[in-house]
Structure 1
Amino acid sequence: MIKKTITPGHNFGSEAKPVAMLVQLASRFKSSIYIESEDAKVNAKSIMGMMTLALKSGNAITVIAEGDDEHTALQGIEDYLCEAAG
């Protein structure tokens, strides 16, 4: 298991498309992927769970990946979260 604190470059809260794209990205990996924000921890492969987080730029989150491709998964999620502002 690996985890990393990341600060998203985009507000994901009320926008379904970037959240859906993040869920699709997470679903490509075999590893379990979770995102923690404040007191909530959700499965990054769950659209409903991800929508409840209302991720905002500037608010740090923790991405947790566990499995055969955990390093690749964490890097992919980090790249997406940090590049989504552009």
Structure 2
Amino acid sequence: MIPQLVTVRHRRRDGHWRRLYVPVLPVLLVLSPVLLLAVLGGLVACVIYRVSPVGALRGAGRLLCALPGTRIEIEQSWTALQVSIR
């Protein structure tokens, strides 16, 4: 199952948290022309470096399906960033 929602939390210097919810499907639909160009560029790179395009697409699909449940937390000095993928 592909990710459905990405939650980004950012702590500012004053200690307040900002939360941003990003639905994945509408963003993919809006950016689909750019995504198509990226896939074509990736296929050209596969041909140049002699990598199987089918294997590369399969690996990218597996990576995308493994993303739900991932949490990334970064903290430095006064700021913090938390990304949760559901």
| TM-score using structure 1 length | 0.31
* Structure with greater strand share of residues: 2
* Structure with greater helix share of residues: 2
| TM-score using structure 2 length | 0.31
Which has the higher Rg, Structure 1 or Structure 2? 2
